[in-house]
């Protein structure tokens, strides 16, 4: 996992993000090679008020946003 440090974000694993999402926290998605404060592909907030399952959200984000240039996860 690429280590990116900002004043607002901390990169965590998928398992930790899932636990935070289930606990009701807002989780931000960003491809692994991208900086979360990038103006072209900023971090995407995901709230727990959606009726979709966590696995569906992760799969859709990775399918449409994660490439060889931005990172595969």
Please report, to the nearest 10 degrees, the dihedral formed by the alpha carbons of residues 18, 24, 28, 29 taken in order.
30
pLDDT band per the 50, 70, 90 thresholds, residue 5: low
pLDDT at 33: 86
The structure's pTM equals: 0.81
CA 60 to CA 65: how far, in whole Å? 8
pLDDT greater than 90 at residue 56? yes
pLDDT greater than 80 at residue 40? yes
CA 21 to CA 27: how far, in whole Å? 6
Instruction: Check: CB of residue 73 under 8 Å from CB of residue 32.
Output: yes
CA 61 to CA 30: how far, in whole Å? 9
Give the distance, in angstroms, between the CA of residue 11 and the centroid of all CA atoms in the same chain. Answer: 9
pLDDT greater than 80 at residue 29? yes
């Amino acid at each position: 996992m690429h280590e990116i440090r900002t004043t607002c974000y901390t990169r965590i694993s998928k398992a930790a993000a899932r636990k935070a999402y289930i606990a009701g926290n807002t989780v931000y998605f960003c491809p692994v090679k991208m900086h979360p404060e990038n103006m072209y592909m900023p971090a995407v907030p995901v709230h727990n008020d959606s009726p979709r399952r966590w696995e569906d959200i992760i799969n859709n984000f990775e399918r449409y946003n994660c490439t060889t240039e931005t990172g595969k996860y």
